[in-house]
Every structure is written in structure tokens, then in C-alpha cells.
Structure 1
Amino acid sequence: MGTPSLLDRLLNGLDSASRRLYVAASRTIARRATTTTTTMETLEQIKPTMAEIDPRIPDALRVAFRLGGHRLSSPGANDNEGFASFVAAVLPAPPVPDCPAVVPAPRAARALRLDVGSCYLPHHDHDSHFGASDFGVLGVADGVGGYSERGVDAGAFSRGLMTSAFAAVVSAPPGAPVCPYTLLELAYEETAASAAPGASTAVILSLAPAADAEESPRLRWAYIGDSGFAVLRRGKILRRSRPQQSRFNCPYQLNSTGNGDRVTAAETGEVPVEEGDVVVAGTDGLFDNMFDEELERVVRMGAALGLPAKNMADVIAGVAYEMSRNRARDSPFSVESRRHHRADRWSGGKEDDITVVVAFVALSY
């Protein structure tokens, strides 16, 4: 007997009523998406309760990831065709041939923009973020929680970084390219000069226009520590940051006292992007609880349902939240704990602040 396919595993143990839930959920979410305005919380971060986030998680995701905490919708009838389309959306994306049969003729590079949306689910309230769609820049920072044990506001440095970065972005001349490393350096210098307490990880990303007609626009980044990002194309991760750590669960971090890591330790780079790519940035509250293939699956599902960036961020954060409180399943954090042979090996998810910023790469107006 051959190895079960992903479809077999997805449907394993589900009765016909559960199958119909996929379609009922997809139709409901699709209708909701058409009436939702995409907005971006900048410095005034949203702090939705799980009661607000819970209804935004499609029932289909709950069945597929075996999540609880929500009464599933009543299924409809005659949903076989819709269910087949929905399942196809969450299956792995087909591979793209290395050598296409027809090579398209070169065309002039088209201007792109970032449509940005975010969701923040506080636990300790040490995260901060910003997004500026008009400037094609976004950032996420995570205050180091250990400082709170010293009676220090562990979120102060992360808020300082993002406040300074956002202020610099919106004061730049329109159309001026933004270098993420330079922006991170500037934000660090201003925050350190203010003597803000605590320490923070951070990631900043920006969209750079094509240099000429033969090139594609590029997504540029600079990050320090375990705040990170993933770039997805057609539902598969194209580029993924890897956490910088001094040791397990001790990320690189910036602080005001000079005994932290230097900005020069930041990882920098860039990747060409195209219309339809999805960028997901977040703190470790996201990436400690969701495996790469799970993130791919949620993004494919959100794309199939036509969710705007804001709703996509809500769903990703909501799923990560429920996974963080699930002790019956492995998480990236628990796997890493075992890999480092920790005496206090972690089991299940890891409760933490969860910040998710989603940016759709789209054609400029």
C-alpha cells in the first residue's frame, strides 16, 4: 500500500458533514472579505481579544489543523464541487518548471506596491510594529521579556525602535527608496540615545523599485534576532529568515547599555518579487508556534478565499494563538528544545505576544 497523499491525510477521520464545513466556511469568509476594509495599524496597535479574533478563523482551518474553541458553522448541501476546489487550494502548490516550454519576451518592469495589514495579540505586551503602505515599508520588534523580571518595562525598547523608524519613513521625500539597514541603524541610535530601558529584536523590510526595465522590484530586509519574515510565491515559501541566537531561546538583541549586540550584526539581503507574492513578518510568537508548511497552508487557504491583507493577518495570528495554547501537538519551539537536549524540554506550543504583518505585492495604481 502506497504512502497516503496529503489529501488522504487531510480528510482522514472526517465525515461528510465535516467535509461540508470547509465549503460553508469558505463561502462565509469570502462574503465577509468583500465587505472588509483593509487597514493598517501603525503606532496605535490593535489589541483584539480572542473573542474578536475567533470568528475570523475559517472553520476549514479548524478542521484541517484540529483546532478547538469555536462552534463550527452548520454545513450546507450539495457542496462536493466547492469542497474539491477548496481542498485543491490547500494542497501543496505544483512545482514550477525550471525550463518553461515557452520563454516570454522581455517586458518593461511594472511598478509594484505593498498592501499591508496587521494583527497584534498581546500576552506580555512587549511587541511593537508599524506599516506604511504608501512608502512600501514595514517593521516588527519584540522586547526581551527577561527585563520585566528586573522591574523594567520590557516593551519600551521595541516601541522606541518602531516609533523612530516609522517617523523617519513618513518624513522621507515621496518615492525615496528606504534602506532597511540604514533605517534600523537610525532607529537604534535614536532609541539608545533616549535611554529607553530593555532590549529588543527587530526586522524591517522595504520594497525597492526596479533599477531598469530588465530587472524586477526587490524586497530588501535587515533583521536582528528572531523577529523574522517569509516571502511566499504561489503558496510556497520563496525566502525565509533564520533566527540569530547566541544560544537556544536567547536571540541577538539591541539595547541602550552597550552590552547587547551591535546593529552591524544584523542580517541583510534582498530578493526579486513579483505581483501576487505574499510577505509575512512576525515576532517569535508566530514562528515559534507555526511550522513553515503550516504557514504555507494558511496562506494558500486565505488566498483561495480572497482575503485581504488585514484578514489574512488576523487568521494567521489567530491560528498561531490557538497553536500556542495546544499542549498536544509539536511546535517549532518544542522541536528545537529537544534538539538542544534541554533538561526542561518543552511540550506543545509557547504562549507569547503574537504580531503578524502581512503585505501583498500588487501593481501600483
Structure 2
Amino acid sequence: MATVCAAASRWRVIGDGVRSRRLLLTEASRRRQLMQPPPPPSRLPYSTSSSSPPPSTSSSSSPKFAYHVAASFIAKDRPYDPNSHVFHFNPYNRIQPPRHRRKSSRPDSGHDAFFVSRVNDSGSVALGVADGVGGWVDSGVDPADFSHGFCDYMAAAAYEHQPGQDPSLSARKLMQKGYDAICNDRSLRAGGSTACVAIGAPDGTLDVANLGDSGFLHLRLNAVHAYSEPQTHAFNTPFQLSLVPPSIAAKMAAFGGAQLCDLPRDADVSQHSLRHGDVLLFATDGVLDNLFNQDLLRIVSRVMEDSGAWVHSSGGGVEVADTLESLVKSADASGASDSKPQKPVTLQSYIATEIVHAAKAASINTKKDGPFAKEVQKYYPQENWRGGKVDDICAVVAVVSEAADRLKSKL
């Protein structure tokens, strides 16, 4: 039985400056091999996954707010293709039991993982990201097994949630359910990950639990309305959930290594009030280490304005367009037009692919310093680290819309 305890750090070593520098140099070498930038994204297809009948609603009234979700992703050593590295959330799709899922069905996101699921028939949506701890590779463990399994269990827990038994499913509770399940999965020997988990309710409240250096941004009308702060023990040492085998725990104890037992209760929890036209981003450090919040705001604002979702008012401000609902469902958000028939693209998928495309390009850029480079220069100025950080990249984007009848009642 493995010990439920976090490894000492992302590399399972705290304060080991020599090893940290070696890892940085190794990553720099890998980055030089990936200098070919990815192609610009084109219009994106819908998911081809099958659907089940619409869920029955527990209330006769329609939900006030809806969450339109898409994700984009790419493993660090793979070229990015926005046409295939994209996921479109369909709330009517069934969530398969985690034990029935095959590795071959995982998205090409490397050690990063994500999930999106409706919370039974409550009208709420659960979503989040997890970044597998790469240091487990040294112990012969695939870090993706923990992060992907963890997300699968959270998706299943949300999908199967019974409000009558537990009416208040919070983001932290969902993280705990997923963590308990992955730790009790006997097919998993060891592993660990960060986690940023959220539940969006039909009344427009968002509950977020963030543990580690993945995170989220809440964007509203050309402004960063809220964002999470990374949780770290030291440089490149984020909070993380882990499953440590007794053999490794014993070796660490023998050499005086510290064990960091980060748990879901250690996650930063926050609540947010959402409005029609808000954009939510949940991302791993592959995004956040390469793009500043202002970079992400510029990308989202450009897409929202170019698509016509956010428009400039006569008074000089910015407001949500009446066409938002059509954009999040099936519209031509890119504004592209050609003679060839194209499958529709959603606004949320366009935002997600633009973010991942920019993060991928920044990760292999050796000239422009990103957030990670700034941190290296702060803690290890002798390294002369420049540019981005090659890493797995994952972004989950949700565009929030309010029911049309409720919008009319406000006019």
C-alpha cells in the first residue's frame, strides 16, 4: 500500500541548486531542438464523440447561466496542431468509468490532464486541470497515469453526484473525491500532480480550489477580473498531491529528505460572481510559465472583439454583443471565409487554441523572457536563462452566457 504523501518537490529535492541548474540546462537543450514554431490555427472541428439523451432537470425553471467549454493541449515534445489538439465539451455525453478508459484514448497532452463534466442534472459544470509531476520518471513511473487518472475520477464523481445525498459539492470536495479515488486505485503505483478545480453553478457563482502552480484567470470586458496565485514551497517546487510508495518514502527518510504532505485541504479556495460574456481560463504551468496575465488578456480580448462577442459601445466602453449565444454554439468565430465547406468552430475553442498556440510559440522562444525566465533570473541569476520554458501545455476555456429570457427581463 503506497503512502499518501506528496513528494519533496517537483523534482523531489528541495534546495538542491546544483540539480535544479542541471535540469534547467537540460531543458534549454531540448528547447533548441523545438525551434520550429507551430502553424497558426485554422478553423476547428467539433468533437465526434457520441451523445446520450439530454439529462432531466431537477427544476422546472431554466438555468440562469450556462458554461460553454473547450480545451486545447499539446505535449512538450510534439508539434502543435490546433485542428486535432482540441476538445469540445458536450454536456450530453456520458462520462465513462475511469477503470474502463485506455491510455490510447488520452489526449496528446503529455503529463498534463484536464476534465469537464456536468454535475449530474443540477445545471452546474465541473472542470479543471492537473499537471503530473515529471520527477517521477526517475523512479520508473509515468507521471501521466496520476494526472489523467485523477481527472478521470473527478469527472466521474461530478457526473454521478447525487444532490440529495450531498447538496453542496464544492471544488475542494471534488478534488478530495478524485484524490481519494486515485490513491485507492491499485493499478497506480505512485505519482503526483498539481490541481486547479472549479464548479460553475447555474446561478453564476464559481467555486475554485487551486493547489500548486496551475491556475485560473477570470476575464471580463478587456480586463483581468480575478486570478489565482501559485502555491509553492520554493523555486520550481509547487504544492502537489502525491502517492509515494513505501520504498521511496524509506529512501527519502534514510537520507534525511523532507516529505511535503500537501492535501486538498491545503488548496486555496475562492468564490467568484460571474456575468454574461465572462471568460474563464484554467491552465497548467505550460501556459502560465510562458505567458503573463496581460499576454493572456490580449489574446482573449482580441478573439472576443474580432469575433464580435465583445463590442465597443457608443459611450466608449466595452459590452457583450447580442450575438454571443450563437458564437458559443456553432458560429464562425474566426471570421474566416473560403469556398471549401468547413465544420463549425466555437468561440471557446478558438480562444483555447489561440492561447495554446501562443504558449507553444513562447515556450521555444529564446529571445523573449516569460514568467519562468523572470523567476530563474530572480533565484539563479548566474544561469543567464532567457526566453520561454518547454513544457506540456493545457488550457481549458469557458465562456459564460446568461439565458436569453433573463437578459430581456433586465432591459
Does the alignment reach a TM-score above 0.5? yes
* Contact 1:245/1:252 (8 A) holds in 2: yes
Match of 2:237 among 233, 245, 250: 250
* Contact 1:278/1:361 (8 A) holds in 2: yes
Is 2:210 aligned against 1:223?
Answer: yes
For residues 236 and 117 of structure 2, what CA distance do their matches in structure 1 show?
30
Q: Secondary structure at the match of 1:322?
A: helix
Who is 2:81 aligned against?
none
* Contact 1:126/1:154 (8 A) holds in 2: yes
Who is 1:156 aligned against?
145
Task: Give the aligned residue type for 1:332.
Answer: P
* Contact 1:40/1:118 (8 A) holds in 2: no
Is 2:147 aligned against 1:194?
Answer: no
Task: Give the aligned residue type for 1:302.
Answer: V
- TM-superposition CA deviations, 1:308-354 (whole Å, max 9, x none): 10121011101110010000101000011112235434210000000
For residues 279 and 40 of structure 1, what CA distance do their matches in structure 2 show?
24
How is 1:229-240 mapped onto 2 (pairs within 5 angstroms)?
Answer: 229-240=216-227
Runs of at least 5 residues in structure 1 that lack an aligned partner in the other structure: 1-27, 43-108, 211-216
Is 2:132 aligned against 1:143?
Answer: yes
Residue 152 of structure 1: CA displacement? Answer: 1.1
Who is 2:374 aligned against?
335
* Contact 1:40/1:131 (8 A) holds in 2: no
Residue 228 of structure 1: CA displacement? Answer: 0.5
For the aligned residue pairs, the C-alpha RMSD in angstroms reads 2.6
Who is 2:354 aligned against?
315
For residues 304 and 290 of structure 1, what CA distance do their matches in structure 2 show?
20
CA separation of 1:296/1:130 partners in 2, compared to 1, >3 Å: closer, same or farther? same
TM-score by length of 2: 0.59
CA separation of 1:272/1:135 partners in 2, compared to 1, >3 Å: closer, same or farther? closer
TM-score by length of 1: 0.67
Task: Give the aligned residue type for 2:170.
Answer: C
Runs of at least 5 residues in structure 2 that lack an aligned partner in the other structure: 1-39, 51-61, 78-109, 250-258, 308-332, 334-346, 405-411
* Contact 1:232/1:238 (8 A) holds in 2: yes
Residue 359 of structure 1: CA displacement? Answer: 0.2
Is 2:126 aligned against 1:126?
Answer: no
Residue 219 of structure 1: CA displacement? Answer: 1.0
Who is 2:85 aligned against?
none
- TM-superposition CA deviations, 1:176-197 (whole Å, max 9, x none): 6641000001111111122532
Q: Secondary structure at the match of 2:394?
A: strand
Task: Give the aligned residue type for 1:114.
Answer: Y
For residues 353 and 198 of structure 1, what CA distance do their matches in structure 2 show?
17
Q: Secondary structure at the match of 1:359?
A: strand
- TM-superposition CA deviations, 1:232-258 (whole Å, max 9, x none): 000211111111011011101101238
Who is 1:167 aligned against?
156
CA separation of 1:207/1:41 partners in 2, compared to 1, >3 Å: closer, same or farther? farther
Residue 142 of structure 1: CA displacement? Answer: 0.4
* Contact 2:66/2:202 (8 A) holds in 1: no
Q: Secondary structure at the match of 1:148?
A: helix
Who is 1:290 aligned against?
291
Is 2:200 aligned against 1:203?
Answer: no
Residue 146 of structure 1: CA displacement? Answer: 1.0
How is 1:1-365 mapped onto 2 (pairs within 5 angstroms)?
Answer: 39=47, 111-123=64-76, 125-132=110-117, 135-173=124-162, 178-194=169-185, 196=188, 197-210=190-203, 217-257=204-244, 259=259, 260-306=261-307, 307=333, 308-364=347-403
Residue 131 of structure 1: CA displacement? Answer: 1.2
- TM-superposition CA deviations, 1:16-75 (whole Å, max 9, x none): xxxxxxxxxxxx99xx76xx5655999xxxxxxxxxxxxxxxxxxxxxxxxxxxxxxxxx
Residue 173 of structure 1: CA displacement? Answer: 4.2
For residues 173 and 235 of structure 1, what CA distance do their matches in structure 2 show?
38
Task: Give the aligned residue type for 2:197.
Answer: I
| Identity within the alignment, % | 31
For residues 49 and 70 of structure 2, what CA distance do their matches in structure 1 show?
7
Higher relative CO (CA 8 A, sep ≥ 6), structure 1 or 2? 2
